[in-house]
Structure 1
Amino acid sequence: MKILMVDVDGVLIHGRPSDGLPLFTYLERDLGLQLDVLQEAFFKTYWRDIVTGRDALEPRLAEVLGTIAPHLSARTLIDYWLENDSRLDHTLLDDLAALRAEGTQMFLATNQEHLRAGYLMEKLGLSARFDGIFYSAALGYQKPAAEFFQLATEKVGIPADEIGFIDDVEANIEAARQFGWKAKQWTSGMRLKDAIAAFST
């Protein structure tokens, strides 16, 4: 394995920094917006295009909030969103750093829109820990689409069977394996060495 691809949400990041709860747990209390209303008006309607780079987050969110929560700006909600979905798994980060020090290249492979991808790399400092990021809004496809894995493989320029991958979603693992990556589904309490050992089984 020359390269390890690492998923973000559910693997490297787990919810709110203070307690690990889902990021919108206290959305209504904190910002006066009901989550089910946001889900229906925004995520169900627009998220697929946003996360694959066909629409922009902030202007679309501003338009929706103008209808469902005129008291709330898109920038305020985005900042709240980013800050409350940033609890890093430092044990995993340390294990990844040790593997990287031995010569394995590290990339994030994740379904993200552009603003959060930038936040992950710059604000959370992951650009210092990874050699790059492959994300859905930049590639135009989201996992588990085969095109996601194809484009990421083409960009790193090595054979698919020399790429390892950890992700918490079974469908993504199956898609990666079908493309030729060595993949292991990440579960709570797992250590990196156990996932890597599974690549050879």
Structure 2
Amino acid sequence: MKVLMVDVDGVLIHGRPADGQPLFTYLERDLGLRLDLLQQAFFQTHWSDIVIGREALEPRLSAVLAEIAPHLSAATLIDYWFENDSRLDLNLLEELAALRQSGVAVFLATNQEHRRARYLMEEAGLGAHVDDIIYSAALGHRKPSPDFFRLATARAGVPPGDIAFIDDMADNIEAARQFGWHAAQWTAGATLGGALPVFGKRA
């Protein structure tokens, strides 16, 4: 394998830094916004366009909050969101560092909108641990779309058979395998060598 693609949420990042709980666990207590309202008015309605780059995050979120939580600014909610969804898997980062030292390129392969992709690389510090980020809003397609894997392969610059991939979602794993990647589903407590034995001696 020449390239490892790594999913972010559910693999490299697990919820709140303090306790690993889901990022919006205390949303209503902290910001006075009910999660079910946010899910219905924003995520279920607009997220599919935002995550593939058709809409920008902050203007759309601002419009939604004006209706369901006029006391709350989009900037405040975005900061809260990103900061509470940034608990890093330090053991996996150590494995990735060893893998890169062996000459394997490591890319993040993730469904993200533009602002959080930048946050992950710069503020969360993942840019120091990977060669690049390949994400849905930049590609115009999200996993498990075949177009995501086609465009990600082109970005990696190697044939599909030279790419390995870890993700926590079964649909994404199946789509990657259909495209010719060597893919393994990531589960809690997994190790890179255990999930992908081809890397076992190096990681």
Q: Structure 2 length normalisation: TM-score?
A: 0.97
Counterpart residue type for residue 36 of structure 2: D
Tell me, in whole angstroms, the C-alpha distance in 1 between the residues paired with 2:10 and 2:128.
21
Counterpart residue type for residue 60 of structure 1: R
Tell me, in whole angstroms, the C-alpha distance in 1 between the residues paired with 2:138 and 2:132.
12
1:101 aligns with 2:101: yes
Question: Kindly, what percent of the aligned residue pairs are identical?
Answer: 69
**CA, structure 1 residues 142+11, in 2 after alignment: closer, same or farther (shift >3 Å)?**
same
Match of 1:17 in 2: 17
Tell me, in whole angstroms, the C-alpha distance in 1 between the residues paired with 2:126 and 2:43.
26
Q: Secondary structure at the match of 1:175?
A: helix
Counterpart residue type for residue 72 of structure 1: L
Match of 2:164 in 1: 164
Structure 2: where are the runs of 5+ without partners? none
Match of 1:49 in 2: 49
Q: CA deviation at 1:195?
A: 1.4
Tell me how many residue pairs correspond in the alignment.
200
1:36 aligns with 2:31: no
Q: Contact (CA 8 Å) 2:193, 2:199: kept in 1 or not? A: no
* CA offset digits 1:1-24 (Å, max 9, x no partner): 000000000000000000000000
Match of 1:147 in 2: 147
* CA offset digits 1:15-52 (Å, max 9, x no partner): 00000000000000000000000001111110000000
Counterpart residue type for residue 136 of structure 1: S
1:7 aligns with 2:7: yes
1:131 aligns with 2:154: no
1:67 aligns with 2:67: yes
Tell me, in whole angstroms, the C-alpha distance in 2 between the residues paired with 1:199 and 1:12.
17
Tell me, in whole angstroms, the C-alpha distance in 2 between the residues paired with 1:153 and 1:3.
10
Counterpart residue type for residue 88 of structure 2: L
Match of 1:184 in 2: 184
Counterpart residue type for residue 145 of structure 1: S
Q: Secondary structure at the match of 1:33?
A: coil
* CA offset digits 1:155-180 (Å, max 9, x no partner): 12111000000000000000000000
Tell me, in whole angstroms, the C-alpha distance in 2 between the residues paired with 1:128 and 1:91.
15
Q: Secondary structure at the match of 1:183?
A: strand
Tell me, in whole angstroms, the C-alpha distance in 2 between the residues paired with 1:32 and 1:159.
49
Tell me, in whole angstroms, the C-alpha distance in 1 between the residues paired with 2:159 and 2:60.
39
Counterpart residue type for residue 105 of structure 2: Q
Match of 1:112 in 2: 112
Structure 1: where are the runs of 5+ without partners? none
Q: CA deviation at 1:84?
A: 0.1
Tell me, in whole angstroms, the C-alpha distance in 2 between the residues paired with 1:20 and 1:42.
24
Q: CA deviation at 1:199?
A: 8.2
Tell me, in whole angstroms, the C-alpha distance in 1 between the residues paired with 2:199 and 2:98.
18
* CA offset digits 1:40-69 (Å, max 9, x no partner): 111111000000000000000000000100
Range with bigger deviation, 15-24 or 148-157: 148-157
Tell me, in whole angstroms, the C-alpha distance in 2 between the residues paired with 1:129 and 1:13.
13
